Chains A and B, each alone.
Chain A
Amino acid sequence: MKQSFNTMGIDVGSNFIKLVLMDYSDKPKLVDKQTEKIRKRNPTQVADEMIQTMLTKHKLKYEDIAYLASTGEGDLVKRKRGHFYGMTTHAKGANFFFPDARTVVDMGALYVRAVKISGDARVEDYKMTGQCASGSGQFVENISRYLGLSIEEVGEVSLSAKNPEISSGICAVLAETDVINMVSRGITTPDIIKGIHLSIANRIIKLMSSLKGESPIILTGGMALNKGMLQAIEEQLKETGKKFEIKTHPDAGYAGAIGAALWGGFRHIKLKEKKAVAA
């Protein structure tokens, strides 16, 4: 494939919107990326502004983007060409980071999802956490806020824990009660945070095991960048004797957006071919 064109992928999460600009070719390249916290704004408007900013920055027009693809809650995005489901895009994103990826664990704000994929990023099977939010990024964020930490600090703080106290891994309400009790018992903040990470890590390992996930396992989504979370997973793996090779990538938070942009490129070519055949 000699052609090269621009694609965009936008991943609308419950807290953050992630946008990427890609140069799509045989060897696609990530050109630019941007994250924006939604706060209490209208996601459609935030997404639109982000796209405009990115286009202006690169002196591009809408028409210069061969395919603007959305994922997550991206069906709210205006002027998109297509929408892909989150599992499909995270699979492709993980495959972009590590072509040998066979299992993806998407650790998002609302749930954790383990996905088994083929060599060409095809979803083969998946498992996800149940209805409760106690294993999600949103829960970690809430707890860190209660403890006076920013979400960026959580990972580092967790690394300094000495005697972690594990909270409930089943119910967010119970876990929050546990945390309140820990605070009143004088448990240190690092130990509380680490305990939460261990509790979530435990759930993730159970998910990977029940899925019969194969290594390497790629962590994607916002929580994949949390160092404390990664350390907790490694520790829990050792403790349970599971031999999974875990990998993550500095752009893991953009996996969904990257996957959407890549599938967008794929579709652009496919549609072009279809049009040529029809003509």
Chain B
Amino acid sequence: MKSFEAILKECEGLAFDLNFARAKKWKAEDKKRILVGYLPIYVPREIIHAANGLPVGIMGAGDRKQIIKGDAYYQSYICHLPRGIIEMALDKNLDDFDGFMFPAICDCVRNLSGMFKLSKKGKFQRYFDYPQNFDVLIGGTFYIQEMEKILEDMQAVNGVKVTPEAINKAIKLYNTNRRLIEEIYNIRQQYPWRLSAVETYHILRAGITIPVEEHNEMLEQVVEHIQRERGEPMDNIRVVVTGSFCEQPPIGLIKSIEMAGCYIVEDDFMLGSRQIQGDINDNSKNPLEALADAYIHQSTFTSCFYDVENPRGKRLVKLAKERNADGIIFSAASFCDPALLDRPQMQQECDAAGIPHINFQYHENTGQFKVIKEQAGTFSDSIKLWA
């Protein structure tokens, strides 16, 4: 077993390798293998795995790439994520990728799919629409059709005809992945000092750049390590950070929140890896149906899903209570319409439930955190001393 420090270091390296060297190496080992890049938030990675592909999460360039060309593609009032990703594509960071999936997060990401198409990046560029109707017969059927389009795209590249057995096998692997991630969150719920939010973030983000089998091994080791005491408990408040599901916050921001006296016991940073809650049926004759069913019934909440019957504000409050959180930090990327438009309604729910909250905005390449640290610090003090 690797030392914990070695695992964490490896994860940090993988998480921010904008050239995706590990994924490209995996592809080079077999001619039939394909790389499919996907943007936040969620795609059913199982179908890519079943098609002998590696789903690779492209979470943006963060603060590790200077944006020059990307600014020519997007107006100044658009968030930072798409301009960073187009910059990566134009700089050939994504050259070995066979295809790209652009989930229906917002108009900016939809437009990005068009830019990839025009720039001829990858062999296919698929805008992947999420159903907004949560009736299995309507939304579920639509979702299956969306997945079938991707399967056709991939078959056209490597000729692999996906079988139900292959999807079931992939579902099983991803079930393990989700279970292990949840276990880490559950241990952190009780002992948040054993694994910082930054370390957790690195571990999860590394996972979307390597084969799931390898990530599962890594996660098993992490679980084993954090079952033992590590670090020292501090008199911190417990917070849920929400609104960072698409453009990822800079590591400095997560660190600043922690340093200001907050344990982040729940977040939506790498939401795609935790989108489906619980296991998906891995023994179905029609696994696409199982995936669609899981999407309809087991999805967590996010601003991109319009689940009318299941309001997000109420789900956020429920989550905060389950995690025994003292407060909620609304942290959204600047110009992120989905997160920022949702915020007032969610804050209202927090007020009604008596849960204190603060909010701020960031860019993925924000470099100054003093104000955020001050906000989080005073928030922590106000709860510790006056709540």
Q: Which residues of A contact B (CB under 8 A)?
A: 67, 75, 79-85, 87-88, 122-123, 263, 266-267, 271
Contacts and interface: CB of A to CB of B under 8 A. Distances in A.
A264 B374 CA distance: 19
A81 B381 CA distance: 14
Interface stretch (B101-109, B229-237, B335-343): B229-237
B164 interface: no
B172 to A, nearest CB: 40
Give the one of B261, B380, B381 with max A CB within 10 A: B381
A123 B374 CA distance: 14
Contact of A85 (B232, B381, B386): B381
A29 B192 CA distance: 34
B385 A82 contact: no
A67 B259 CA distance: 18
B260 interface: yes
Nearest to A73: B259
A122 B234 contact: no
Contacts of A123: 378
A79 B233 CA distance: 9
B378 A85 contact: yes
A266 B385 contact: yes
A79 B261 contact: no
A81 B234 contact: yes
Contacts of A75: 259-261
Contact of B260 (A80, A81, A85): A85
Nearest to B381: A88
Contact of A82 (B259, B378, B384, B386): B384
Q: Which of A67, A83, A122 has the most CB of B within 10 A?
A: A83
Contacts of B259: 75, 83
Contact of A80 (B234, B381, B384, B386): B234
Contact of A88 (B232, B235, B236, B385): B385
Interface string B3-36: 0000000000000000000000000000000000
A222 B261 CA distance: 25
B361 to A, nearest CB: 19
Nearest to A88: B381
B378 A122 contact: no
Nearest to A75: B259
A81 B234 CA distance: 5
Interface in B221-249: 232, 234-236
Contacts of B261: 75, 82-85
Given A85-B374, A85-B381, A263-B385, A79 B260 contact: no
A58 B259 CA distance: 30
Nearest to B380: A85
Among all A-B residue pairs, the 3 with the closest Cβ atoms = A82-B235, A85-B377, A75-B259
B234 A82 contact: yes
A83 to B, nearest CB: 5
B236 A82 contact: yes
B260 A83 contact: yes
Nearest to A89: B381
A108 to B, nearest CB: 14
Contact of B235 (A79, A81, A85, A122): A81
A84 B262 CA distance: 11
B336 to A, nearest CB: 27
Nearest to B259: A75
A81 B233 CA distance: 8
Contacts of B236: 82
A80 B232 CA distance: 9
Nearest to A267: B235
Interface string B256-270: 000111000000000
Interface centre among A79, A82, A85, A122 (most CB of B within 10 A): A85
Nearest to A70: B261
Pick the most buried of B235, B374, B377, B380: most chain A CB atoms within 10 A of its CB. Answer: B235
7 contacts: A75-B260, A82-B261, A82-B384, A85-B261, A85-B377, A88-B381, A263-B385
Contacts of B385: 88, 122, 263, 266-267
A81 B259 CA distance: 12
A263 B385 CA distance: 8
B39 to A, nearest CB: 34
Contacts of B380: 83, 85
Contacts of B386: 122
Contacts of A88: 378, 381, 385
Contacts of A82: 234-236, 261, 384
Nearest to A123: B378
A122 B378 CA distance: 11
B232 A79 contact: yes
B92 to A, nearest CB: 40
A260 to B, nearest CB: 11
A87 B235 contact: no
Contacts of B374: 85
Contacts of B381: 84-85, 88, 263
A202 to B, nearest CB: 25
Contacts of A85: 260-261, 374, 377-378, 380-381
A263 B381 CA distance: 10
A235 to B, nearest CB: 32
Contacts of B377: 83-85
A271 B235 contact: yes
Most buried by B among A80, A84, A267: A84
Most chain A CB atoms below 10 A, which of B234, B260, B377, B380: B377
A88 B379 CA distance: 11
Nearest to A80: B234
A84 B383 CA distance: 11
